A and B are shown apart, each in its own frame.
Chain A
Amino acid sequence: MVWIVQGLGVAVLVAVAPFMWGIAQLVKARRQGRRGPAPWQLYWVIRKHWHKETTVPERSSWVFRLAPSVSMAALLIVVITIPIAGRVPPDWPHNMLTLFFLLALERFWSGLAGLDTGGTFGGLGASRVTTLGTGIEPALFAALGIVWQVSGNGAMAPLAAHLSTAPANLLPWLMASASVALVLLAEWGRLPVDNPDTHLELTMMHEATLLEYDGRFLALSEWAMALKFTALATFGWVVLGPHLPSLWANLGLRIIEIAATAGVLGWVESGLTKLRYFQLPAYLAVAAGLGMLGFYLAAGGLSL
């Protein structure tokens, strides 16, 4: 049973990823007073790219051609390791450090791909993505540390279960939630960190590393970008959110939670401006600070 639910969960998450992206775009459009594209627009875009000719820059190497697959593979493994319905089969590799390093791997390869073509925008994007990574990683690490501390092991287990038995963990839980929310905004490349909808090359971060891609590579990258959103939203809700007793109900709840996250993200994002690039370290320092303080509290360093 657990096997079936987990397998189905992975398939559903991968399949609905572009739709969830579409929900965020639709809410954004409505908030701005536009009609906006249908929420399944990204499926048509991916299909269009898939059927186009795929070209690669003359002076690019195998790194450029491999990078989209590596990103996609890393994110697929992330999805597979998350206990989507709250429980996983015995001996399932669902350590949080796996997630941490898979995200680092994905970032490393998108940076490499940006540099590989030798184009200025790709290099600028690679520089920004990796610089941002040096802020994201400690913040994420600290937030994961809280969960580890509370649950007693590195597994991606629901933290909420521990709250009922130990109310003192409420504050660390709040801090971990806030920290993870800030980090995920940065990981997703959404405002106020990065603007996924801009056409201004000079302001791009993640998009700049994709500028040279077309055809099937671009289709894969677009799907991976959408999958990153659903995967990390699932991770956040599994670890920090509520759980239902039934596996199937839990699976359904995940889908609703992700859709709601997309909607809220679209709504909030429309009213924000992008932060100055040089202010981003301060933004990520807040996330890391919350995480570290929460970790300290969870470890019992401060008796309340």
Chain B
Amino acid sequence: MDNSWIRQNVALKEAHAELLTLTATRNQSMRATWLDPVSGRQELVIVEVCQERFPSLTSVLPEVAWDEREIHDVFGYVPEGHPNPRPLLRTPRWPENFRPLRERPDVRPTWQDADPDNPALTVEGNGVTVMKVGPTHAGIIESGHFVFSLMGENVLHLDTHLFQNHRGVESLLESQTVDGVASIVTRICAADTVSHQTNWALAVEALSGYEAEAAVSLGRVVLLESERVLSHLNDLAQIPAGVGFQVAHQQALAMKEDWQRGLQGMYGHRFLFDTVRPGWVAPPDPENLLRLVYALRRAWTPWQHLVEGHHGFNDRMADVGVTTHADVVRFGGQGVVSRAAGKGFDARTLLPLYQDLRPVPVVESGGDVRARFNVRVREVEASLRLIEDAAARLRRETAAGDIPWSPQDGHSGQVAVYTESPHGLNVHDVTMDNGRVVRYHIRAATYRNWPLLAHAVPGNAVADFPLINKSFELCYSCADR
């Protein structure tokens, strides 16, 4: 049986399937859900945990290294044969036998008085400098601790210590009702919130066998694409800042701010919180949307000419922080990072939500900072076209049934749902029993991309790290739910 777990998963990987989730449950079982990127069909592989142990896949499927370490931390199941079974989110402050998802403790755990600094993997030897950055940074960003091993100006190795602000969202979601989940899921991450909300809505609708109306689907597409434009504009502003290109930085920030204010005017929230619920979507305003897209285009075109024609900027981005196509496939890279390295996967092509809007994946082959920059530029343009298309259709849609659908009580079952967030494939694996959540696993795109960043940095100059980091622009809070 052990062998079949490994054999089946490896076979699916070799058949170019995408791993949606790898997760465990408290009744001694584990499951891997795979997605066929062409047909959209899902495959489920299950294994029983025997005597607290399960066969580790990491040595043959390196992309699950973090998943298995996390399962060890929160369930206590030991991944047998894992080459690097360090704690991932567990800190020495956790009590010895505290396994937060294994059993629900009635009393709050008492935190140990221990040095929270997990030892980092560093290079040892003559002339090697170990440099620690974070977890508190000079800019307004999330908490991440980066340990560099340097030889002069060159990076030999980078160890990332994330999971500094673990909130226990998955544990919090257990035994919640449909209404309770929505407000928590919305707040997992401000950058990908619409994607998380849509996932939850799709999960409930799939479990109830309900199919949302066309107007609701179009409203969700508008929100998902607006969120992508917002997130990409922010990233496109931060990349020039990494090389001191202040004019391009400030102009892109101004575009982002105008876009965000427009969204606030339409949806009442700068980050689009609470805009999607099962069977419902915040009503879009097609006229205002089209006006907002028009205004953005007017600022966008001169900005695009500025950055594309700037020799110094393009020179700084070229051949820096390269991720190869082979690495992206091996580590299961997602989103912009994978599409910039020639992997043409975009979950939007599989989602019934987009119906006949026909989004086309944007692919570049360089794998460097410039390729990631260009993918974002082209995706913003594609998203603006999608928004215009959806808004035009929404104008034609007659406001059909104004009676909102609300999920009936008592649905049960397990489903893995996904959307393409600005950062890539965002998956929720939901198990419900009689209207309450039994297990809720969230695997955001950045969870797969963080190890790729650590892989892309060695070999580059340490002064280029901010630039590389900003070109990945990975979300901490999605990965550390």
Contacts and interface: CB of A to CB of B under 8 A. Distances in A.
B161 interface: no
A195 B56 CA distance: 47
A271 B312 CA distance: 10
Contacts of B135: none
Interface in A230-284: 269-278
B247 A270 contact: yes
Contacts of B400: none
Given A32-B246, A120-B131, A191-B244, A202 B316 contact: no
Given A124-B131, A273-B313, A278 B461 contact: yes
A32 B250 contact: yes
Contacts of B316: 273-274, 276
Interface residues of B, number: 31
Q: Which of A127, A269, A276 has the most CB of B within 10 A?
A: A276
Given A201-B133, A202-B133, A31 B247 contact: yes
A276 B461 contact: yes
Interface in B446-465: 461-465
A304 interface: no
15 contacts: A32-B246, A32-B251, A33-B250, A120-B129, A120-B130, A124-B462, A127-B152, A192-B312, A203-B242, A203-B466, A270-B247, A272-B244, A273-B244, A273-B316, A276-B316
Which bucket holds chain A's interface residue count? 20 to 34
Given A277-B463, A278-B461, A34 B250 contact: yes
B310 interface: yes
Given A33-B251, A273-B312, 13 more contacts: A31-B247, A33-B254, A127-B152, A195-B244, A199-B139, A200-B466, A271-B247, A272-B244, A273-B240, A273-B245, A273-B310, A276-B461, A278-B153
A192 B306 CA distance: 18
Contacts of A201: 133, 138
A294 interface: no
Interface string B129-144: 1111100001100000
A29 to B, nearest CB: 9
Contact of B132 (A28, A120, A200): A120
Contacts of B462: 124, 202
Given A192-B312, A276-B316, A278-B153, A200 B131 contact: no
Interface string A188-216: 00011001011111110000000000000
A195 B243 CA distance: 9
Q: Which of B129, B132, B250 has the most CB of A within 10 A?
A: B250
A123 interface: yes
Interface of A: 28, 31-34, 120-121, 123-124, 127, 191-192, 195, 197-203, 269-278
Q: Which of A121, A195, A274 has the most CB of B within 10 A?
A: A274
Contact of A199 (B138, B243, B312): B138
A274 B254 contact: no
B246 A270 contact: yes
A200 B242 contact: yes
Interface string B231-269: 000000000101111110111001000000000000000
B466 A28 contact: no
Contacts of B254: 33
B216 to A, nearest CB: 39
A201 B134 CA distance: 11
A154 to B, nearest CB: 36
A210 to B, nearest CB: 13
Nearest to A279: B315
Contacts of A34: 250
